[in-house]
Amino acid sequence: MSTVRVRFAPSPTGDLHVGGARTALFNWLYARHHGGAFVLRIEDTDAARSTEAATQVIIDALEYLGLDWDEGPGKDGDYGPYYQSQRLDLYREYADVLMEKGRAYECYCSPEELDQRRQEQIKLGQSTRYDGRCLHLSEEEKQNFREQGRVPVIRFKALEEGETLVEDLVRGNVKFDNVTQVDDFVIFKSDGMPTYNFAVVVDDALMKITHVIRGEDHLSNTPKQIQIYQALGFAVPKFAHIPMILGPDKSLLSKRHGATSVTQFYDEGYLASAMVNYLSLLGWGYDDSQTIFSTSELVEKFGLERVSKNPAVFDIQKLEWMNGVYIRNLSLEELYEVALPFWQKAGYLPEAPSPEVKEYAIRILKELQSRMKLIAEVVELAEYFFRDDYEYKEEIVQKIMTKPHTESVLDFVYGAVQAAVKLDEETLKPQFQVGLETFGIKMGDLIQPIRVALTGTNVSPGIYDVLELLGKERVLARLERTKAMLKEKELI
């Protein structure tokens, strides 16, 4: 069997969304599983909508997900993508071939005329297709049109009868009626740019793509493309149209459903390994039970035969849960590496943290690791570890710091901490116990106000861990700061 060659061919017109990333991943997994090649081709022939920024977003997203491509302009493994805008001569060349074979022709109909005829077809209940009017124009007629200032498009001369069969590896055999479903579509626009359906065939053929794996929304384009392959005498690749992705309400996934772009997921701190794992399950599954797959396991197990025909539902809660699983599997050193940029951006940590600062950061992460779903949460969760001017949550202050004994408890703890040689549980717990008896309260009534005093809120790692991490000096200062705050609010 010839070597597998697949491609990801995004149009750089906006963010890379879940669907596009999933298509890229399935292609990449297929290539890696078969030891084949994964090609990245930027389909930027729509000059009005394509931007360099969008291309960069795609490249960044693929790099973040670890989906590396194997060839392109460049050398020594450092390849740029292929750009369709740099291959325009090729498309022109093959359009000429089709013209010579009588399988393409110039069309001078104006958009207004086409629209008018379309409306008439709709009125008559006919299928809306190009009526072939320019197929047999004489040179003289063409000349006349040109003199009127009309610039032609080039249309493909589609088959007029029979059916085009798409043998799809996911969807099985799908037949398209040539009369009603494939008309003489445009392959070159009047601005001199090829259309998607044409350029994609020329490229897939010249790049020797063996398997076209893409979203099901392209299934209806496939008969058009197959007719072009056949007209040019190219071998037709295998097709695999992968199911659409829906939101929880079962409508097509869109921005309405919340975060859907890979950039957003990156910014929120989803780990690439979790993203790859989650995306792989959007339309593919190994068996009914396994959901956690390392990337290398996916490479080993992925195949098109297990791709479902049914739409997949994007479930952000499941992705979040999965991210938490992957976070807990990181070593503290790895977690530090991914958390660092977030803390730097928040201004908690400098460009190059000293070994002591790093050690402190890692001790914090040890306490937070089990409670995180997103890496971005480290900013809020760790604020009070890095900033002495942390805010007190008003409703928590009202709930917890208004209880009797608050002031006495804070004073008592101040004394206990001041006298302690170490701020660990072993040293402090027996001291705190003494306070409980004195005030006739329970441990929770003592710990809650200290927690609020030291962190500004009522959720944190274990109180002794917080005390130890902050250290005596900061604990004492925070107890004082809290008292001042309570006095100012006239709560004590």
Q: Residues with catalytic annotation?
A: 255
Distance between CA atoms of 261 and 129, rounded to whole angstroms? 35
**Would strands 104-107 and 153-156 be described as parallel, antiparallel, or unpaired?**
antiparallel
Q: Which is nearer to ligand GLU, 203 or 377 (CB)?
A: 203
Give the one residue of 17, 32, 171, 218 binding ligand GLU; rule: CB under 6 A: 218
- Binding region for ligand GLU (CB under 6 A) out of 5-13, 261-269, 406-414, 423-431: 5-13
Output the CA–CA distances (angstroms, integers) from residue 394 to 81, 244, 283, 455, in the order listed.
53, 45, 46, 13
8 Å CB contact between 14 and 237: no
Q: Which is nearer to ligand GLU, 222 or 448 (CB)?
A: 222
Q: How many Cβ atoms from other residues are within 10 Å of residue 127's Cβ?
A: 11
Q: Which is nearer to ligand GLU, 8 or 384 (CB)?
A: 8
- Per DSSP, the residues of 47-94 read TTT--HHHHHHHHHHHHHHT-----SSEETTEEPPEEGGG-HHHHHHH
- Binding region for ligand GLU (CB under 6 A) out of 7-15, 168-176, 243-251, 320-328: 7-15
User: According to the binding rule CB under 6 A, does residue 9 interact with ligand GLU?
Assistant: yes
User: According to the binding rule CB under 6 A, does residue 200 interact with ligand GLU?
Assistant: yes
Applying CB under 6 A, the site for ligand GLU has a residue count of 8
* DSSP H or E segment with residue 54: helix 52-65
Q: Which is nearer to ligand GLU, 263 or 431 (CB)?
A: 263
| Cα–Cα–Cα angle for 391, 395, 398, rounded to 5 degrees | 100
First to last CA, the chain: 81
Across-strand partners of 212?
239
Output the CA–CA distances (angstroms, integers) from residue 202 to 72, 160, 194, 208, in the order listed.
16, 22, 10, 10
Cβ-Cβ contacts under 8 Å for 412 (sequence gap 6 or more) = 435, 438, 439
User: According to the binding rule CB under 6 A, does residue 205 interact with ligand GLU?
Assistant: no
State in angstroms the smallest separation of the CB of 259 from ligand GLU. 20
Give the one residue of 30, 39, 43, 279 binding ligand GLU; rule: CB under 6 A: 43
User: According to the binding rule CB under 6 A, does residue 261 interact with ligand GLU?
Assistant: no
Q: Which is nearer to ligand GLU, 171 or 214 (CB)?
A: 214
State in angstroms the smallest separation of the CB of 303 from ligand GLU. 19
User: According to the binding rule CB under 6 A, does residue 12 interact with ligand GLU?
Assistant: no
Residue 121's identity, in one-letter code, is Q
* DSSP H or E segment with residue 107: strand 104-107
Binding mask 160-199 for ligand GLU (x = CB under 6 A): ------------------------------------x---
Q: Which is nearer to ligand GLU, 43 or 367 (CB)?
A: 43
Residue 316 phi/psi, 5-degree rounding, is -65, -35
Give the one residue of 5, 6, 11, 475 binding ligand GLU; rule: CB under 6 A: 11
Q: Which residues bind ligand GLU (CB under 6 A)?
A: 9-11, 43, 196, 200, 214, 218
